[in-house]
Homo-oligomer: A and B are copies of this chain.
Amino acid sequence: MSTGGKGGARRAGAGQGENDTNGRDRPLVVGIREAILSGEFVPKQRLVEADLSERFAASRASVRAALLELTNEGLIERVRNRGARVRAVPLEEAIEISEVRMVIEGLCAAKAAERITEEDIKELKAIGESMRSAVSSGDVLGYSQLNQRLHRRIRMISGQHTASNVLERLRAQNVRHQFKLAMYPGRTTVSLPEHLAVIDAICAHDAEAAEQAARAHLRSVIQTLPEVDQDRSHGYRGTT
């Protein structure tokens, strides 16, 4: 974990290690991002620079820089001279994002199937077993965490830095929908066999099957998204 200053390393976005947010970022970016992802800042909420400046004990210029960065990450939305607000991802766009995720996760799964080692096979299968037991015991939260770990592990095994970066960004934009999806009753029962199929295909070094399984899983997600959607995501008048 020693994220020390390895100067000569390639940029390639985040290293293969944990990129939960982005370790190289200043605390401001991380802080605001965490606030958005944790739900403290709700969609369409205005983000006034002065307020954030006070909230994080930093200057307004730093806040502005952080806001600009988060804008490019797709988490907040800025209009010239009209300020920044948390981006509300409507269902239609959440589906689009998931469709892009579908093909990229398929790519990663295929590449992972080609590159996976015996050691990683053990870990993937272990994750699969944990997921199975989590579903059995009804541990939805644990299953959700295992889900994220599985996807991240597959990305790592695939060795596709570019794909990982894109996926991470897309996932952050959809975190709210993903959360609602995870809480959808009976979702784990549908999700589990799909995940196991992905794991099996990757561990069997079957790239084609892995890609198809990953895409099938995301297709299932896309299909379920409209059911869990609550239309407050794209509400124009959020003043209640």
Q: Residues on A close to B: CB < 8 A?
A: 3, 6-7, 10-12, 24, 61, 64-65, 68-69, 72-73, 77, 79-80, 87, 90, 92-93, 96-97, 99-100, 102-104, 106-107, 111, 160-163, 166, 170, 236
Given contacts A99-B111, A166-B166, 10 further A-B pairs with CB under 8 A are A10-B90, A12-B93, A64-B65, A65-B65, A96-B163, A99-B163, A100-B163, A103-B106, A103-B107, A162-B170
A160 and B96 form a contact (CB under 8 A): yes
- CB neighbours of A96 from chain B (8 A): 160-163
B161 and A93 form a contact (CB under 8 A): yes
Closest Cβ of chain B: how far from A84's Cβ, in Å? 12
- CB neighbours of A7 from chain B (8 A): 79
- CB neighbours of A11 from chain B (8 A): 77, 87
Closest Cβ of chain B: how far from A21's Cβ, in Å? 13
Nearest 3 pairs of A and B residues by beta carbon = A72-B72, A103-B103, A96-B162
- CB neighbours of A3 from chain B (8 A): 92
- CB neighbours of A90 from chain B (8 A): 10
- CB neighbours of A161 from chain B (8 A): 93, 96
CA distance A12 to B97 in the complex (A): 11
B68 and A100 form a contact (CB under 8 A): no
Closest to A61 in B: B61
- CB neighbours of A106 from chain B (8 A): 103
**Contact A162-B73, Cβ < 8 Å, known A61-B61, A80-B24:** no
CB pairs A–B below 8 angstroms (10 shown): A10-B90, A11-B77, A11-B87, A12-B93, A100-B160, A100-B162, A100-B163, A102-B107, A104-B104, A162-B170
